[in-house]
């Protein structure tokens, strides 16, 4: 479901039943005291890989995309991005939620609350975790409401 954009940023997990994948910094970043930085993770959502999950064999030995199942999956799932626990000891970051139709490089934002210390993140450092989650409700109805 993820496409690696930068060599060395391939996601890793703890095995078949892992709830998350670890993600790696795609660049060296220096975060000065009191500053905020967005750090690229070298991956994006792979639209083709998601579609492949919903390909079905038909009777003519070819595959058809089950659009109904694909659309249902896309409308009921999202990615949750968290900083790794080790990053929380010295940096501040919040959980991010990513729609599955987002196509740019996934990035995480960090804030350095220190008054004097700079914080360095080296390319290839394991800094974030990503999970696939399901939701069952929508904040808005599926049809666009008329303006009153």
Inside any domain, residue 142: no
Give the pLDDT of residue 143: 60
Domain extent, residue 105, equals 2-134
The CB-side HSE value for 71 (13 A sphere, CA atoms) comes to: 4
Which CATH number do you get for residue 121? Answer: 2.70.40.10
Owner of token pair 């095995």:
15
pLDDT at 41 over 70: yes
Inside any domain, residue 147: no
Render the burial of 83-119: b for 16+ CB within 10 Å, e for the rest.
bbeebeeebebeebeeebeeeebbbbebebeeeeeeb
Inside any domain, residue 139: no
pLDDT at 60 over 70: no
State the pLDDT confidence band at 35, using cuts at 50, 70 and 90.
very high
Give pairs for 10-17: CB < 8 Å, separation 24+: 11/43, 11/130, 12/126
Give the pLDDT of residue 8: 92
Give the pLDDT of residue 134: 92
> Mind spelling out the 3-state secondary structure of 44-61?
EECHHHHHHCCEEECCCC
pLDDT at 144 over 60: no
Number of domains in the chain: 1
Give the pLDDT of residue 145: 45
What is the C-alpha to C-alpha distance for residues 120 and 28, in angstroms, rounded to an integer? 7
Q: What is the mean pLDDT of residues 102-107?
A: 96
Inside any domain, residue 146: no
pLDDT at 53 over 90: no
Inside any domain, residue 145: no
**Residue of 44 and 53 predicted with greater confidence:** 44
């Amino acid at each position: 479901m993820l496409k690696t954009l930068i060599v060395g940023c391939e996601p890793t997990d703890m095995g078949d039943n892992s709830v998350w994948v670890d993600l790696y910094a795609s660049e060296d970043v220096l975060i000065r005291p009191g500053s905020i930085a967005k750090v690229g993770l070298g991956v994006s959502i792979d639209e083709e890989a998601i579609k492949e999950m919903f390909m079905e064999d038909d009777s003519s030995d070819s595959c058809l995309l089950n659009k109904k199942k694909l659309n249902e999956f896309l409308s009921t799932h999202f990615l949750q991005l968290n900083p790794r626990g080790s990053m929380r000891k010295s940096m501040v970051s919040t959980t991010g939620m990513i729609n599955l139709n987002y196509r740019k490089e996934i990035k995480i934002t960090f804030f350095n609350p220190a008054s004097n210390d700079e914080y360095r993140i080296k390319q290839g450092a394991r800094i974030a975790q990503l999970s696939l989650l399901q939701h069952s409700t929508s904040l808005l109805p599926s049809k666009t409401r008329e303006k009153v």
